[in-house]
Each structure stands twice: as structure tokens, then as C-alpha cells.
Amino acid sequence: MANWIVNHGLETFILVVWMGINIFLFVHFYLFYDLGPQFFYTRVLIGSALSWARAPAAVLNFNCMLILLPVCRNLLSLIRGSFMCCGRTLRKQLDKNLTFHKLVAYMIALMTAVHTIAHLLNVEWFISSRQGRFGPLAGNLSMLGDDDNHNHDHDHDHDDDDDDDDETFLNPIRSDSTTPLLFAFTTIAGLTGVVITLALILMITSSMEVIRRSYFEVFWYTHHLFIIFFAGLVFHGAGRIVRSQTDDPPHNTSFCKDYPEKWGKIPQCPIPQFAGGFPQTWMWVIGPMIIYICERLLRFIRYIQTVNYKKIVMHPSQVLELQLVKSGFKMDVGQYVFLNCPAISQLEWHPFTMTSAPEEDFFSLHIRSVGDWTEKLIKMVENLPEGSQGPKLGVDGPFGTASEDVFDYEVSMLVGAGIGVTPFASILKSIWYKFKDSNPKLRTRKIYFYWLCRETHAFEWFADLLQVLEKEMEERGMKDFLTYKLYLTGWDHTHAAHVMVHFDKDTDVITGLKQKTHYGRPNWDKEFEQVRQENPSSVVGTFLCGPASLAEDLEKKCVKYSNVDPRKTRFYFNKENF
């Protein structure tokens, strides 16, 4: 339990606070509408469905306020950077921005379902009340505003203005021929509700892992329905469907409810007046919407800035390396950018981790062919005449990630899977540049690097960098600073036989490195135990850029091998998220 608190304490606290606010809002507004005397006559018409519609609306307002903030990447980068004092533990939470974004989205979906079902029942019961099915009081309340005598026989203490007639009615169904379908498509609340719900359904279904991975473009375009969602949200409350009783004129509900036929005829029971609630959703969402608009404006400014090609290299296994130059561009290790190629799509932006070091005068990206967009980009570049500039690119970023914190730990374990090695290429290059300086100022004194790859060709573009680092560390007598292990996870018997023949060579047959390639997957228990024994009183940062299944496994190992005693080894798990 103590080990678990080391890795998940703050994260759990944030979730408990978020959930606590949701529960408080739901319960508070449920009781407000269920017990409030101003809604007594409204409850006569529609019962508890009023509370079941309004309580989720309050929770929706809160979560719609939050949903945009985790995807304001510039804001997050600002918070985790030098702008604010942001500790390592808090930065870890910022790296889980997309997980929180999804969690808030699920809450919005759940509350939308409850809100919609409750309002569908409300419309049915409003219609039934108007038709007199719920007794004379409900029928009388439904007819308020229809009967001209009622409107003008009430207490004349206030001015006869046009609003009196409007304020008299309680039931928003004003015609006997109205049906739920007609109400949904002829009122502001109904029409915006339909649009919001359809947009939400499309956004959530297209965000499923299987669609996002296989049809990223579908996810990307459908997710931009959030513009329609927020526009509908702002106008949704303008219809003022839910109405409450006003204090003027004084109308004693406990006495007058039994004598609806005397309303407007005796002083104690003037005709009750009602007013629609003031729309509040816009007040919740206006701040995040402004922040997000600023975010998009910044993206547009970056989009129109010129990006030049310094070098284009095509590596084996369909891996494209782009070395790019942009005026005023400054990066840190492990950061990523969003790339746009107007020749492929004006709207699509795809995230890529930079493989260059901050010390270099360019920034580089290694792009593997894994979908339509990357395939088209690689084909365009492959067909370019020798020495020409590539297609126009828009670059948004750089944005901070977990890997930025590598040098904040005494010991770091870096785990890359396939092309997931890219942030660590940046880190290892930066280490090399730091050691070129005669007196490198590094808090980190030991790095363990693990690379898991399915095929041998994928090692090639990265092996050169490792060879340079291997030589550099050897010359400085710092062999122990960098320990790296390469794992080939996809191999056959023919390949194994070839390796066995050349096993006695000084360098590895695949990579040319002194460190031999391992076959299969790492035994993580063994690796974590070794790191713990070699660093008995260190804080170890474990960094992964790879699949969710591996993340789950490594996170469990960090918990298992951490010690709550600050004098002993503790492991902190960090994962790249885009």
C-alpha cells in the first residue's frame, strides 16, 4: 500500500476531489429543485423528473468547463515550464492530461444520458398535465396564460405590461396539438439538445481505440464537432423551459394549491407568476473557450511561420528523417511537435517526438509509415528531385512531455518500443553534447536504456548514435554511466542460427555495438531488482514511450519495487502521452 501511494497518491487525491465536486453538485442541485418552494407547482406537473434533469445539468456545466483545458497544450507547457513553480510530482499529473480529458468526457456522456432521458419524460408529463391526466391542479396550472380572464383578474398591484402574460404560464407546452417530436425540433432547448447529443455521440464513438488507430482522419475530423457542441451548449438554456414561481405577487402555495378555482378571486391567492431561469452554462464555459481560442490562434501563427528543410534522409523500414529549421524555435529534450502538411490535408495535425538535442541548430523528426497521412508524406518526399526542398510544413510546438524530467532524477530507466525510441534519441544525443563539455552539470549519474524492437532493420538508424555514445563514455572512463540493452522481439530460427555462428565476435552481428542484442522480451522483475541493488538509496525515474500493455506492466513493477522509506530506492513511472 505504501509503495502504491508513492506512485499514485497525488493522482488519486485529484480524482477524489474531482469526483467529490461532481457528487456535491449533483446532490446540491437535486435537493434544490426537489425541495425548493419556488418549484412546488413545477413539481406538481412533472414530479421528480425536474430534479433528475437539473442535477445532471449542473454536473455537465462543471465538466464542460474542464473538458477543453487538458487539450490546451501551450497552457500545460507553460505550467510545467519556467512560468510557474511546478514540482516533479505535479508535472507527472500534467502528463496524464489526455487520460483526464477522457474521464471528463465519460462523465459528460453519462450526465447527458440522464439529463436527456429526464427531459424526455418531462415533455411527456407536460403534455399529459395539459390534457388533464394528473388532476385538476395540474390541469389548471397548465392552462395558465391561455385563459384571458385569469390573466387580467389577478391582483392589479403591479403594472399591466406585456410581460405579465408571459410570466403567468408555467407549462411550456402551449398547444394541445404539440407532440414530443414537434417540441424537440421547434424549440431552442429541443433543437440545440438534439444537435448537442448527436455531436457528442459522434465524438465519443469516433474516439474509440480501434477507430483512432485505424482511421485517424475519421477521429480527427469528427472530434471537431466540439465547435458545434459548445455553440449548442451556450444557446441550450436560452429557451428557459424550466420555470420557477416568483415572489411577486405573494402566493401561498400551501393554502392556494387546494383552491385553484379561486386564484385571482381572493386576496390570499392571486394568480401565481412564473419566470424562466437565467441561462448559466455560458458563464461556466466562457473562460476555457477563450483560452482554447487563444490556443488555436497561436497554432495559426505558428502554422504561417516558414519551416525550412536542412536534410531529408530515408532510413530502412520506411522511417523518414526530417531535419528542419524554424526561426525562434527552442526545444528541450523529449519534447514533441504537431506537424501539418497542407498538400495532404489543411486541417490535420499529427504529433511527433523530436529526435534532436537542444544543443543542435535544427530539430529532427523520425517518421514511420503507419497510416494514410504518413504514407502520403513519405511518398511525396521519396519522389522529390535531388537537393530540392520538401513540401510546405506547418509546425506547432514544442510541447512538454514526461521525458523532459529525465535529468531531474539521479537514476533514469528509459524504455522505448519500436519507433517509441524517438524521445530517448533526443535525450541520449543531449547527454553526448553535455559530455563534450569538459565539465557536464548533470544531476543524473546513471541511465539504463532498454529498446524493444520487432525487426532488425529498425535498429539501424539508431545504432550509429549508440556507437558514438559508447565510444565517448569509454574514453571518459564512464562506462557505467550508460547501460543499454537491445531486445529483438520478432525473430526466426534462420536468424538465430546466423547469430550463433557470429556469437564469438567482439561486436553484435545486428547493430555493430559491443553490447550484444537480446532475443525475446526483458524479464522486468530481474531488471528492476538489478537497478534496485545497484542504486540502494536512489530516486529512479522510469520513462516509457510505447504501448499501453507495456505501460501497465512497468507501472506495476514501479509500485512493486518502490520503498516508502525515503532512504531506500523508489521508482516513479512516467509515460509519453499525445
Q: How far is CA 29 from CA 233, 274, 352, in A?
A: 19, 19, 44
pLDDT at 502: 45
pLDDT means per 10 residues, the chain with 578 residues, are: 63 93 97 93 90 95 95 84 60 82 96 94 89 82 67 40 57 83 87 95 92 83 94 88 86 87 87 86 93 92 91 82 92 90 88 89 88 90 82 89 82 86 83 71 84 70 73 75 81 52 50 67 92 89 88 90 80 80
Q: How far is CA 448 from CA 6, 33, 551, in A?
A: 21, 59, 17
Sign of dihedral through CA atoms 531, 534, 536, 541? negative
The structure's pTM equals 0.80
Other residues' Cβ atoms within 10 Å of the Cβ of residue 334: 29
pLDDT at 108: 97
DSSP string, 449-480: EEEEESSGGGGHHHHHHHHHHHHHHHHTT-TT
Residue-range domains of the chain with CATH: 2-154+167-187+241-288 (no CATH), 402-493+505-575 (3.40.50.80)
Cell of 338: 504537431
Q: Which candidate, 558, 392, 423, 408, places its Cα nearest to that of 5?
A: 558
Helix axes 226-236, 188-206, angle to 10 degrees: 150
Cell of 398: 514544442
Distance CA 40, CA 35 (A): 8
pLDDT at 287: 94
